[in-house]
Amino acid sequence: MMARLVRFAVLTVATFACVAPTRAEWLCGLVDGAKEFGRSVVRDTKRRNCWPEPFVTPDRYAVRAPLNLMVSNGWRCQNLLGDYHFIDQGGELTEAGRMKVRWILTEAPSQHRTIYVHSSGNAELTATRIDNVQQLAAQLVPAGELPLVLETAIPAQGWSAARADVIGRKFDASTPEPRLPEASAGGTETK
C-alpha cells in the first residue's frame, strides 16, 4: 500500500514537472529528491522489518557493563593487600600477606592475578611495599610471568590475623561447659 502511494506521488510530481514550463535544473532537483525519498522509505521499511536485531547487541553490552564493573571491583578488593598485611605499618609482608600473595599467584583465575597494594600516607612507604610484593611475586612465579602490582586508594576491609585470633580465643573462653539437663524423679508420662 505504501509503495503504491509513493509511486503515485512520484508519477504525479513527474507529470506536473513535464507539463509545467520550467528550467531543467529544477526538474533534476525534483527527480533527485524523489529518488532520495524513495530510498529513505525503502531503508526505513527494511529497518522496521528487522527491528530488534540491530539493537540487541548494544543493549546486551549496556546491561552487562555494570555487572562487569562489579566483578572487576570485587576482584580488586579480593586481591588487595591492606596495612595489616605488612609488619608494623612498614614495608615487610607478614605471614598472612605472603600467603595472600601466594594464593593470588597460584589459585586466582589467571585473568584476575593483579595484586593491589593499599596506598599509605607516605609515598616512599607505598613504593617499598610494592617493591617487596614484586620481589615475593618474582620468587613464586616462573620467569617472565610477573603479575601487575598496582597501588590503589581503596581501604582494605577486615582486620589483622592477630585481632581475629584474639576474638576467636575470647569466644572459646566464654563458651560455657556443656551440661545435661537434670533427670526428672518420676520419669516421663505417656498417653
| pLDDT at 115 exceeding the cut of 90 | yes
Q: What is the pLDDT of residue 70?
A: 95
In the chain, % of residues over pLDDT 70:
85
With bands split at pLDDT 50, 70 and 90, how would you rate the model's confidence at 116? very high
Q: How confident is the model at residue 68 (pLDDT cuts 50, 70, 90)?
A: very high
Q: What number is the average pLDDT over the span 107-134?
A: 91
Higher per-residue confidence, 93 vs 12? 93
20 vs 79, residue with greater confidence: 79
Instruction: Return the SS3 of 183.
Output: coil
More confident call, 20 vs 71: 71
Measured distance CA(23)–CA(50) in Å, rounded:
42
Task: Let me know: does 17 contact 30? Beta carbons within 8 Å.
Answer: yes
**Confidence at residue 8, expressed as pLDDT on a 0 to 100 scale:** 77
23 pLDDT above the threshold of 60? no
Sequential DSSP letters for 42-60: HHHHHHHHTTHHHHHHHHH
- Residue 38's pLDDT is what? 87
pLDDT value of position 65 = 95
Per-residue confidence (pLDDT) for residue 19, from 0 to 100: 56
Cα 93 from Cα 76, distance rounded (Å): 19
Q: What is the pLDDT of residue 171?
A: 93
pLDDT attached to residue 189 = 58
| CA 137/CA 145 separation, integer angstroms | 9
Nearest 5°: phi and psi at 155? -75, 140
Task: Output 154 or 66, whichever has higher pLDDT.
Answer: 66
pTM of the predicted protein model: 0.61
Bridging pattern class, strands 115-118 and 149-152: parallel
Mean pLDDT for the chain overall: 84
pLDDT, tens only, 146-159: 899 999 988 888 87
Chain centroid to CA 3: how far?
A: 48
